[in-house]
Structure 1
Amino acid sequence: MKMFMLKSLCLAAIMLIAVLTGMQLASSGIQKMKGYEDPNLETAVSFHEKDNNVKASILGNDISSHNIAAKKKKLEEISAFNFFSSMGKKLSNGITSASEKLIQFIAD
């Protein structure tokens, strides 16, 4: 099962890289076909380096750890209650404890 999951994750990562590469190639092909640089046409993936800080942008949206940290903080502030999530956690904890007790009962 572990090997299947590992192979699946590797395949998904390869496919993601292939899609982004294809988007980049299509973007450069469009620029070559136009014959001039269009400032409105953005590249699919770009990396910028300033003062040993690398910034990435995908489809024109900047990606940085600050964005992720701000989103995480915002989600923590909201702290929305999800009934189904809490019931799922209780159910999983109950099944886990029951299976542990069953395994200990069988082992003894």
Structure 2
Amino acid sequence: MMKFMLKCFVLSSILLLGVLFGMQQANQGLVKMKGYEDPNLSSAFEVKNDSSGELEASVLGVSHNLEEKQEKLEEMEAFNFFSQLGKKFAALANAVITGFITFLAGLVESLFQ
């Protein structure tokens, strides 16, 4: 099972890199076709140095700073009804399935004794 998961992960990674490479090639083709640099046409993957000297990577023109996003989500403290409903449904399903498996295990045990 571990070999299968590793193969799937490696294959997915290779496919993702292939997609990013293809997008970069398409971007370069568009620039060549236009004949001039368009500042609105960004590349698929960029790595820049920010003002503090740290590297900042952006994929498809979107820069991701996970720490800022986490802080923003913690500040919002929004109540999501469907999220809470889903959690309760998952807990209920877990309890029902656990009870059913326990019942089946007891039934099988009683049959073999």
| TM superposition score normalised by structure 1 | 0.70
Alignment map for 1:16-95 (pairs within 5 Å): 16-50=16-50, 51-70=52-71, 72-73=73-74, 77-81=77-81, 82-92=84-94, 95=97
Q: 1:83 corresponds to which letter in structure 2? A: L
Structure 1 pair 5/92, CA: closer, same or farther in 2 (3 Å)?
A: farther
* Alpha-carbon shift at residue 19 of structure 1 (Å): 0.5
* Alpha-carbon shift at residue 73 of structure 1 (Å): 2.0
* Alpha-carbon shift at residue 15 of structure 1 (Å): 1.0
- Count of residue correspondences: 104
Matched position secondary structure for 1:46: strand
Structure with greater Cα Rg: 2
| TM superposition score normalised by structure 2 | 0.68
* Alpha-carbon shift at residue 55 of structure 1 (Å): 1.1
For the 8 Å contact 1:45–1:56, the answer to whether it is kept is: yes
Q: Report sequence identity in percent.
A: 35
Q: 1:38 corresponds to which letter in structure 2? A: D
Deviation digits for residues 58-107 of structure 1 (CA, Å, limit 9, x no counterpart): 222221123431454257x113243233221343256458868x5xxx7x
CA distance in 2: counterparts of 1:25 and 1:74, whole angstroms: 40
Ranges in structure 2 where 5+ consecutive residues have no aligned partner? none
For the 8 Å contact 1:57–1:63, the answer to whether it is kept is: yes
For the 8 Å contact 1:56–1:64, the answer to whether it is kept is: no
Structure 1 pair 86/71, CA: closer, same or farther in 2 (3 Å)?
A: farther
Mean CA deviation greater in 83-92 or 34-43: 83-92
Structure 1 pair 4/71, CA: closer, same or farther in 2 (3 Å)?
A: farther
Ranges in structure 1 where 5+ consecutive residues have no aligned partner? none
